[in-house]
Chain A
Amino acid sequence: MDFLKLDRKTLSSIFLVCAADGVVGASFGAIAVAGGAPLWLPMLMSALIFAGGAQFVALGIFLSGGGGVIAAITGLLLNVRLIPLSLSISDVLNVNGIGRLVGSHVLTDEAVAFVNTETDPRRRRLIYTAFGVFMYVLWNLGTFLGAYFGAEIKDLGAFGLDAGAPVVLLALVMSSLKAPKIRNAAVIGAVLTLVAVPLLPAGLPILCSLVGVGYYFLSKQRRKAVVEVAS
């Protein structure tokens, strides 16, 4: 419970992000049960997969009677983005034994975005832990409540809550975009991703954004070369 040493403001922002995702979890549970799935199915998925996008897509395939193989492939593709995200917080996950094994399971987009707004190693770790605990509890609690009580929270759209997930991530990632080079890289990546959506299967378009990283890397190398020549 180390993370409770974080300041109130940080803790409450983390809690808020996780609570917003808890509402999404509730809609996941509600949609699953309303579509005819037994109560345990969404709960098992939230506990074991713990990745919203992949859960919704796999559930959609189950409910429409699609095959398990397609569901598995699509679900996994959607999570390939977790590989670079995991790399970016390797310092935080670099703890012994159980810490790494448990800590890795609770890696989410939101946690990585928040952790990467900080540079202090201790704060990075505390924030990640707080995220892990709050997100895991609220996501699974939300799923249960949604699946059990139900049908009312199926439609997030009527309350505009579907805007919540992108806005939360946007607010978190904004502070890392101050440097023009990083901003350009992000814009290139986002545009290529959007263009790729109609052309590639789900999960792959986002990997097109890595071209933006290539741009960043090359422009930095070139700058380094210029500095070396000048000095």
Chain B
Amino acid sequence: MSYTAILVIAVGTYLMRLLPAWIFAKSEVSNRYDDLMRVTASVILVALVALLTFFEGDKFAGWARVVGVAAGGGFALAKVPFILVVVGSAAVTALLRLAGVA
């Protein structure tokens, strides 16, 4: 049973990766809407950041993660090297949890 489900997800996911770009590149409109597609990608990714920050499944992920991600955003704005952005935000999250923040 899980075999079939895995295969269905795998094939469906692959087609969602493959076909849109393929069809779009072959179409006449692709040049005109290139810019709009990149904005769409940014908007989707920011929404994904919001989801991953605030939710674990459909439950609130807790303030430790929210503050940790916000701190990471601050580090990135301050042009801190990438690795420190990631490590710093994980550290803030972990310390808050250690201090008892959920």
Contacts and interface: CB of A to CB of B under 8 A. Distances in A.
Contacts of B10: 48-49
Nearest to A211: B43
Contacts of A100: 18, 22
A18 to B, nearest CB: 12
A160 B68 contact: yes
Given A45-B6, A79-B13, A90-B20, A109 B48 contact: yes
Contact of B21 (A48, A75, A104): A104
Contacts, number: 260
Interface string B73-98: 10011000011011001111111110
Interface size class of B (residues with CB under 8 A): 35 or more
A47 B78 CA distance: 37
Contacts of A205: 47, 51
A155 to B, nearest CB: 11
Interface in B6-63: 6-10, 12-14, 16-22, 24-25, 30, 34, 36-58, 61
Give the dominant DSSP class at B's interface: helix
B32 to A, nearest CB: 12
Interface string A172-201: 111011000010011101111110011000
Interface of A: 13, 16, 20, 41, 44-45, 48-51, 54, 57-58, 62, 67-69, 71-72, 75-76, 79-91, 93-94, 100-101, 104-105, 107, 109, 112-113, 116, 157-174, 176-177, 182, 185-187, 189-194, 197-198, 202, 205-206, 208-210, 212-213, 216-217
